[in-house]
Chain A
Amino acid sequence: MRRTRLARGQRSHIATRVSTPSRRPAPAAQPADGPAHNLVVGGFAAAVLLLSLVTAGDAIAARRPGSDPDALKMLGDAAGAARTTTYEGTQTTTTWSRGAPATAQERVAHNLGTGTFVRGRAVDRRSDARQAGVEEVHGGLGGFSGSMLDLLARNYSVVRADDGSICGRTAHVIEARRPDGSAAGRFWIDRDTGLMLHRELLDPVGRVANVTGFRSLSVIRPGAGTSGTSGERPDASPPPGRPLASAELGDLRDHGWALPEGLPGGLSLREARRSGEVVHLSYSDGLSMVSVFVQRGRLDERRFARWHRKITAGRTVFQQDALHRWAVWENGGYVYTVLADAPEGTSDAIAAAMPRSGAGFWQRLGRGFRRLNPFD
């Protein structure tokens, strides 16, 4: 995998490859008049995002009105197309942080029956659902699973925009819009194969925060259909750890683990897994993907000496924005690691909103009693 830091001109080069409808704020419209301006605008965007995340909360419980069923169907069918189409190409992922992009680029090949490979590495996951013939796809260019599509429709209005082109292919463009009408995400769906070709996440002020898409694509064999499952059994690594049931999560919470069901910005807990001593919580609002890893212990801060250090809600949070937005902190004998594919400021909001963990009154009392007990 190759990673490059792109200058503005290079980024514009990518943007020129993306034919965008006139209604959306074009990525090329990013201000390019110096780092100071970027910092000011970036800070303002982060503040707006924080405000929107906090005010949005989990109050959005119902499906947003105004979603286009055709648009939702295209997003759902993209998952089937990703399974059944044989293709190869180059994918890039770019994340902007404080006006600076970080990009990774990989060769991707998908073969019907063997799965998706990145330079020889299989990244598809095997699960019980897959064994039953229903592949579980969560996001990215792999399309949307049913639950992810529900989350998307609950938090955003999903509508069609004008068609565009990308990688030399004609694409349907779909927008996910916030309640105020601003675009939060855009998707380019290949008109011929139904593959998702390109995906953008935008912050509340219209700046592109993250882009994932094909830079080049060769379709070797179109899929048999866009909505069916192929029954393929790719050789893939099983997901790490085991899923945690609600009762197990409740037990952990009773023992002081802070494992919230929701995070600011409509991020809902989708899945919880435990691998060894690490609990992995996956959150999403349909667009952004956030992982929170929780483990017992004291944070060894030496590893993060080069990271940005920030005080959030009284907690020392180590941050690093690269392809993903990282945030690490310790609270009450637990170490939290947040990894977000989300607009800037999301990790700040999560660190501020994460409930305090550690022993409550009775746990602390019991711990003290055990220490004082001479017969123990």
Chain B
Amino acid sequence: MSHLGERLTALVDGELGHDERDRALAHLAACEQCRAEAEALRRLKSQLRALRGADPAPGLLHRLDAMGDPTRPGPFGDPSGTTSARTGSSVARTGSSSPAVRRRRTRRPGRRAPAGGALRAPAVAARRDAPRGRYLIAGAATLAVLGVGASFAAGAQPERLPPVTPALEQFAVDHALTAGDVSIADPTVLRDPPVGP
């Protein structure tokens, strides 16, 4: 008895026609070897399907997206949004994206416009832009604080001012003129000779 061979794979993938599928199932009922092989294929397929559910880290996708030229479509779509306008969605355009990638795209905010529009809600777009805005604000605030702090520290030392020796004699005269006193000089002060350097 000949075994199913490649038709077994088609059976597991659901690609056989109705009659061929009946004949293959009849063979499996009688052939223990093919039945074991079909079971193994189903388990393998199930495991592969489970593997497709693993998503990459969101940050990785953002970083990869940001690395590209903003004028060119990123690896997950056209940042300008024109692709969607032309083709409806990159999923529809390529037709080869995995479900995981499709889920990732649905999470990405609306620089692109999926045909349905439901995935481009403003809230989703805000979540997409928020981190970059926060980075900008934080950066500007840091620069401002550093600038103010540096200026304040640099201004701590007073300007270089010349040494001043008050003109006591002249001050005594000015005071007397203002006060209307007759005694316009203070001999004790005036007799104090300047101390040499």
Residues of chain A whose beta carbon lies under 8 Å from any beta carbon of chain B: 1, 3, 91, 93, 102, 104, 106, 108, 116, 118, 121, 123, 125, 137-142, 212, 237, 239-241, 271, 273, 275, 278, 280, 282, 289, 291, 293, 295-300, 302-303, 305-306, 320, 322-324, 326, 328, 332-333, 335, 337, 339, 341, 358-359, 361, 363-369, 371-372
Query: Contact: A335 with B164, CB < 8 Å?
Result: yes
| 13 A-B contact pairs sorted by A residue (CB < 8 Å) | A142-B180, A289-B181, A293-B174, A295-B164, A296-B164, A299-B163, A322-B189, A332-B158, A335-B166, A339-B171, A361-B152, A372-B150, A372-B151
Query: Which of B150, B155, B184 has its CB near the most chain A CB atoms (within 10 A)?
Result: B155
Query: Contact: A328 with B175, CB < 8 Å?
Result: no
Q: Is B159 an interface residue (CB 8 A)?
A: yes
State the Cβ distance, A198 to closest chain B Cβ, in Å. 13
Partner of B179, one of A140, A320, A333, A358: A140
- Provide the bound-state CA to CA distance between A339 and B170, in Å: 12
In the complex, which residue of chain B has the Cβ closest to the Cβ of A325? B186
- Provide the bound-state CA to CA distance between A372 and B162, in Å: 23
In the complex, which residue of chain B has the Cβ closest to the Cβ of A91? B182
Number of chain B residues close to chain A: CB under 8 A: 43
Query: Contact: A300 with B165, CB < 8 Å?
Result: yes
Query: Contact: B155 with A366, CB < 8 Å?
Result: yes
Contact A3 B158, CB 8 Å, known A298-B163, A306-B195, A365-B148: no
Query: Contact: A289 with B182, CB < 8 Å?
Result: no
Those of B175-194 within 8 Å (CB) of chain A: 175-189, 192, 194
Partner of A93, one of B183, B196, B197: B183
Q: Is B25 an interface residue (CB 8 A)?
A: no
Query: Which of A1, A91, A339 has its CB near the most chain B CB atoms (within 10 A)?
Result: A339
Q: Is B156 an interface residue (CB 8 A)?
A: yes
Q: Which residues of B contact A3 (CB under 8 A)?
A: 187-188
Q: Is B30 an interface residue (CB 8 A)?
A: no
Query: Contact: A372 with B180, CB < 8 Å?
Result: no
In the complex, which residue of chain B has the Cβ closest to the Cβ of A239? B177
Contact A141 B182, CB 8 Å, known A303-B194, A306-B192: yes
- Provide the bound-state CA to CA distance between A241 and B161, in Å: 23
Give the 10 A-B residue pairs with the shortest CB-CB distance, closest first: A368-B155, A297-B164, A322-B188, A368-B154, A368-B151, A367-B155, A289-B179, A364-B155, A3-B187, A300-B163
- Provide the bound-state CA to CA distance between A295 and B184, in Å: 21
Q: Which residues of B contact A320 (CB under 8 A)?
A: 188-189, 192
Partner of B180, one of A108, A138, A295: A138
Query: Contact: B174 with A371, CB < 8 Å?
Result: no
Query: Contact: A368 with B183, CB < 8 Å?
Result: no
Query: Contact: B181 with A139, CB < 8 Å?
Result: yes
Q: Which residues of B contact A293 (CB under 8 A)?
A: 166, 171, 174
In the complex, which residue of chain B has the Cβ closest to the Cβ of A339? B175
Q: Is B153 an interface residue (CB 8 A)?
A: yes
Q: Which residues of A contact B165 (CB under 8 A)?
A: 300, 303
- Provide the bound-state CA to CA distance between A365 and B145, in Å: 12
Contact A324 B164, CB 8 Å, known A139-B181, A302-B194: no
